Structure 1
């Protein structure tokens, strides 16, 4: 009797490799643009318009008018990010429902990505005191980036079976850290050595913002060509057009979520510990600069170190999850975050070695917890609802990610020191750990109708 080899694992592996390229592609926008260059550059450009001069920094209190509101130029990037975050929280669940019903996750990801890259490229035209185009462009690009990730995360469920997802997700995150880090190195070289290239620093920043957009758009072509679309499965019957049906499915999912208590428990846990992670990442440069009094060279070195060590951290956690399970890794990772913020509070000023050691610890845990959160959550998603449930996942991340920064700012205002502000973030990790420990993974996986991996 002849047997035919099962080639489905090989076919899945080919698509998984293609899928990883979108992490590589979009990380350029998040790293070069949103994390490093956009904020200081927007403050400089808006500061000129407000009358702060070319040396404007985040202390510039003179205002610019945004839709009739007078906002401090030094705070403008934060306000823009917050607006994009809140808008995404409302839009992403609708996008997720539409993605599930269309059966074209790959193309949805592509068009959202290319639209976001187009608006990101418009940041090149922000110069002089013309900040308005940049403000609109970064908001729209951020929203479209979030929309593309809904489709991207949902594709993970299509191209992998349950026991593969931790490894696949970890490789994707690692690939993203590597790609984002490589472009960031090139851009920082161009910015810091701009005279050697015969250009001024501002043009070097604008060119760097443009390269991040082109990188995002260009590398998105690889997964678009190599992934394949699949027809929708098990969607809730709704009449009307695609948008009307998407709202119908969204409402059905919100009602049905109470039937998946473990899914809800994980979302709450993720909401808290991810908020802590995002605040630590976003506040690290401020803490290093204002509290520990490091210069730009040390801070840039720390950013690059974190970027590349996180590559290894994601792969390491993916490997550990194979033998110990993603759930245990997330619990241990959350405890590690609590230890990190306590140690950060006691860092002595201008001690580069200890500062970089904390950076290595952050990078290792950051890469692992983010990668495994994405894959672990997929086990609690009912069949055919990946787009919408990942939209809820992203909405939890984006809609509440300002809680940590608010607490950080309030504690600093009350105490006048960033040390108690950084350690106050332990609250978010403690709450995340509390809900993680209340989670019953096997029950959640069974409730969603998925197969339980040998090791959860």
Structure 2
């Protein structure tokens, strides 16, 4: 089946897919694995309690997402000017890579410096993804959006697992001291991200754009207000964006905070690394399957499946006690994580008009980014108030419920019906 899937993509589509292969290493190695584990060891050494350090990480995620969220519509609008999408993508990508590389040179007590570099890397990653998401419309046709978007997320899991396995060899083999092993992880992440972005730089060109008149700032502001007015005219698009805001909140919060929560309940670094590997292994085929099932049952239907899975995850989280309990949760996360993200992106791409795609994706990203603020901040507050991170995870179920209701209400008009 995999062979049949891979033969269907053009060179340009493959180059776009490989950018997911390249940047997904950041999501796994920095957002989810190496950084949170190392950060926890640094804060422990500094005498900071586990609940406080988890809260501080949540707040750092909130700061980064607020900044990129505020910039998202502006950057998305600017990227619809001819010949600017790739340069701005490059700025974001290199900002993230350099910040990750710089983490190698922080001191073992510099937890605040680590958080600052993490924020900078997250801003670069988020900025690059605004232009990456928008360029989906540059590489494929509308009837292939689900397939290409799902393949990007699916192969992204494989692309992140390979350097993660290399890191695991050093981590579990004990060849070097803990700090050297962490630095190897940071170096692997930066190098992998850079090298596998090269196909995107070489082969993906901006083919969708709008001709702008006047100076850049005036034209950008005019485009933002025009796009906002246009979005308001499409009730189903507006409702979908609000639904996305709520349900992707839980997804993003679980991705960003899972390792920190696992540490709080007593899981070792080795146990967390194995658990994260399982998520990646499960996620690859499940993301591809989501794309195939969307073609048969409809993208919207599969989004409801993903939301329902995460609601179950929130309920199970309350009873987490052992490593085996966490493994069950990790498998469930893996079944839905890539599918709900990839189909949200492609479903939105199917909804929006053919013009000004990056402007629309700019608003798509701002809703996604600001939702991470809500979840990580809420989890941090609940963790500090109750001294129990798991209750913060359970609280996310409210957002999934709201997201599901709004997604149901966001059904397109009959003449624009999406399956």
Q: Normalised by the size of structure 1, how large is the TM-score?
A: 0.82
Higher relative contact order (Cα pairs below 8 Å, separated by 6+ residues): 2
Number of the residue aligned with 1:307: 280
Number of the residue aligned with 1:266: 240
CA contact (8 A) 2:19 2:197 kept: yes
3-state secondary structure, aligned to 1:230 = coil
Query: Are 1:200 and 2:177 matched, yes or no?
Result: yes
Greater fraction helix: 2
CA contact (8 A) 1:238 1:248 kept: no
Alpha-carbon offset, residue 149 of structure 1: 1.0
CA contact (8 A) 1:43 1:77 kept: no
1:157/1:57 Cα in 2 relative to 1: closer, same or farther (>3 Å)?
farther
Number of the residue aligned with 2:406: 435
Structure 2: stretches of 5+ with no match in the other structure: 1-6
Which of 227, 232, 238 aligns to 1:253? It is 227
Q: Distance in 2 between matches of 1:57 and 1:186?
A: 31
Structure 1: stretches of 5+ with no match in the other structure: 1-9, 62-71, 447-451
Number of the residue aligned with 1:4: none
Number of the residue aligned with 1:6: none
Alpha-carbon offset, residue 87 of structure 1: 0.7
- Following superposition of structure 1 onto structure 2, how do residues 218-229 of structure 1 map, counting pairs within 5 Å? 218-229=195-206
Number of the residue aligned with 1:279: 253
- Following superposition of structure 1 onto structure 2, how do residues 64-75 of structure 1 map, counting pairs within 5 Å? none
Q: Distance in 1 between matches of 2:98 and 2:388?
A: 41
- Following superposition of structure 1 onto structure 2, how do residues 283-294 of structure 1 map, counting pairs within 5 Å? 283-291=257-265, 293-294=266-267
Q: Distance in 1 between matches of 2:14 and 2:312?
A: 35
- C-alpha deviations, 1:390-414, integer Å up to 9, x for none? 1211111112313223333444555
Segment of structure 1 superposing worse, 203-212 or 364-373: 203-212
3-state secondary structure, aligned to 1:383 = coil
Number of the residue aligned with 2:297: 324
Number of the residue aligned with 1:239: 214
CA contact (8 A) 2:55 2:384 kept: no
- C-alpha deviations, 1:1-35, integer Å up to 9, x for none? xxxxxxxxx99722111110100111112211222
Alpha-carbon offset, residue 129 of structure 1: 4.1
CA contact (8 A) 1:100 1:384 kept: no
Which of 150, 160, 183 aligns to 2:130? It is 150
Number of the residue aligned with 1:114: 94
- Following superposition of structure 1 onto structure 2, how do residues 346-365 of structure 1 map, counting pairs within 5 Å? 346-347=319-320, 349-350=321-322, 352=324, 354-365=325-336
Structure with max Cα Rg: 1
Number of the residue aligned with 2:4: none
1:131/1:161 Cα in 2 relative to 1: closer, same or farther (>3 Å)?
same
1:210/1:275 Cα in 2 relative to 1: closer, same or farther (>3 Å)?
same
Alpha-carbon offset, residue 128 of structure 1: 4.3
Which of 22, 34, 43 aligns to 2:19? It is 22
1:29/1:57 Cα in 2 relative to 1: closer, same or farther (>3 Å)?
farther
Number of the residue aligned with 1:64: none
Q: Distance in 2 between matches of 1:208 and 1:278?
A: 22
Q: Normalised by the size of structure 2, how large is the TM-score?
A: 0.89
- C-alpha deviations, 1:176-202, integer Å up to 9, x for none? 1111122122123323434x2xx3211
Alpha-carbon offset, residue 287 of structure 1: 4.4
Number of the residue aligned with 1:7: none
Q: Distance in 1 between matches of 2:179 and 2:376?
A: 29
Which of 134, 140, 162 aligns to 2:142? It is 162
Q: Distance in 1 between matches of 2:390 and 2:60?
A: 27
Query: Are 1:13 and 2:10 matched, yes or no?
Result: yes
Query: Are 1:216 and 2:193 matched, yes or no?
Result: yes
1:244/1:146 Cα in 2 relative to 1: closer, same or farther (>3 Å)?
farther
- C-alpha deviations, 1:351-402, integer Å up to 9, x for none? 61x4322321111111211110110011122222221211211111112313
Number of the residue aligned with 2:354: 383
Alpha-carbon offset, residue 175 of structure 1: 1.0
3-state secondary structure, aligned to 1:239 = coil
Number of the residue aligned with 1:334: 307
Q: Distance in 2 between matches of 1:38 and 1:98?
A: 32
3-state secondary structure, aligned to 1:401 = helix
Number of the residue aligned with 1:85: 65
Alpha-carbon offset, residue 289 of structure 1: 4.2
Alpha-carbon offset, residue 286 of structure 1: 4.5
Please identify runs of 4+ aligned residues in structure 1 that moved more than 6 A: none
1:123/1:355 Cα in 2 relative to 1: closer, same or farther (>3 Å)?
closer
Query: Are 1:230 and 2:181 matched, yes or no?
Result: no
Counting matched residue pairs gives 413
